[in-house]
Amino acid sequence: MNAAADASPHDTAARLLWTLWQQGRVLDALPEACRPRSRAEGYAIQARLPRVAGRATVGWKIAATSLAGQAHIKVGGPLAGRLLEGQVAGPGARLSLAGNRMRVAEPEFSFRFDAALPPRTSPYAMDEVLAAVAAVHPSIEVPDSRYADFTVAGEAQLLADDACAGLWVLGDAAGADWRALDLARHVVQGRVRRADGTTWQREGVGANVLGDPRAALCWLVNELSGLGLGLRAGEVVSTGTCMAPLEVAPGDEVEADFGVLGRVALSFAA
């Protein structure tokens, strides 16, 4: 029996997107026969990516957590995506931008869970979500898209494409008492050192992430719960960029300084 012939449209779309991801190629849009028409269909395709890729889901990311970001990609709200093993690196990682067309780095507040939050019919309250968190980590996302112009793909196709997931660098857990901080007002500095030695920086604040990174985290938990999915102990959630994305190029070094919450850095191969 021909497995390809028996594949569902969602399977076909997931396989195509993963192939493009691996090859660093893009298309204008998914073929009509497997193109998602709704958020639900977009999430259904995304849910097949771990099996197609042969990689476990180790956490979650949120795209479009600012009004500017939502306007840029023409969506009405945030989008949830998976962090897959093999796409996650530790502090100081040296990454490749080969095939990456977005070429930005995004400093993000990330939260690691030490208790599970299974799906349920009633929404999770903020205090329930935060009680399940073990630590806050500084992190940097290097997103990408499998569409030639991701700004016009629409939310269903963007969700299918794992909400513009690419590579992601997780810093060490913050040593400071993050629960005592007002994360909405917490300032983050993003710095880029070019290959020629010149340096520039940009500043962001937690309020740029759905008003508060903790609010974004709560949104993610309830978004997944509505899909019949839960957060598992040990998983990490990256809550979205807290500043305008940092434009990067091969040979650059990037550092995100979260003050008392720590720093995380990466570099790009020349």
- Contact (Cβ atoms closer than 8 angstroms) between residue 195 and residue 270: yes
The per-residue pLDDT for range 100-137, each reduced to its tens digit, is 999 999 999 999 999 999 999 999 999 999 999 999 99
Measured between alpha carbons, how far is 176 from 185 in angstroms, rounded to an integer? 16
The per-residue pLDDT for range 141-189, each reduced to its tens digit, is 999 999 999 999 999 999 999 999 999 999 999 999 999 999 999 999 9
Rounded mean pLDDT of 51-79? 95
**Looking at residue 7, what is its pLDDT?**
81
Measured between alpha carbons, how far is 29 from 153 in angstroms, rounded to an integer? 7
**Looking at residue 13, what is its pLDDT?**
98
Q: Is the full-model pTM beyond 0.85?
A: yes
The dihedrals phi and psi of 5, each to the nearest 5 degrees, come to: -70, -30
Residue with tokens 């097949």: 48
In sequence order, the β-bridge partners of residue 231 are 117
For 139-176, letters b (16+ CB in 10 Å) and e give bbbbbbbbbeebeebbbbbbbbbbbbbbbbbbbeebee
**Looking at residue 67, what is its pLDDT?**
87
Residue with tokens 């998983």: 235
Dihedral over Cα of 144, 148, 150, 155: its sign: negative
**Looking at residue 3, what is its pLDDT?**
44
Who's near 240: CB < 8 A, 6+ residues apart? 61, 62, 63, 64, 65, 66, 69, 78, 106, 108, 209, 210, 213, 216
Confidence of residue 6 (pLDDT cuts 50, 70, 90): low
Secondary structure element (H or E) that encloses residue 156, with its range: helix 155-160
